[in-house]
Structure 1
Amino acid sequence: MPTGERLTLRIQYRSGEDSVRWVSGNISAIERPYRPDDGARFQIVLVGCRLPRRYEYRAALGCSLSIWHGKLSPVQAEVRAPLYCHAAPPPIDHSQAAP
């Protein structure tokens, strides 16, 4: 993922629409989260701000991360293909497995 470019991130922290965060700004750093978590930590200078803020994505059930080039609103992002998209796989349903 490019650093120093303006990107829009959609981070869903858990299941449900109330847990979605839209962030637009310049990515100044990307780091790995502390072990044993999978995901990424982003340092982002938000549009209209000078100091970077940190946002974290952890790959877990019900979580997802989508990234687009440029500053987009949620409506604009829905009609454009993301640069990157990650969603944790759904749980395996063992009740319908063949005997």
Structure 2
Amino acid sequence: MTNTSCREFNAGASNKNIILGGEITGLNITQTKTGKTKGADMAFVTLQDNSGSCDSVIFFPETYKKYRNILFDGHVIIVQGNRSKNRDSLVVEKTYVART
């Protein structure tokens, strides 16, 4: 069950414990450039639901490593996390496979 739509997230609703579901329509795997996980894989995901799309869903290295096997285009997932400090991204803490 979700508590926020892409439209609501993009409008600035909610900061903590955001639960958002949608189809993965974009996946960009990159490597961290600094910090204790320098060079580790992380992902930027675009999710789309019936209200629109969220372009900045971030899986930092530890979370990406845990969920990378379910992250692929066309897959429907539910993510749980918090809005980033600069308020433009969703930093994922947990991911679930949505039943379709």
- TM-score normalized with structure 1 length: 0.34
- TM-score normalized with structure 2 length: 0.34
User: Which structure has the larger Rg?
Assistant: 1
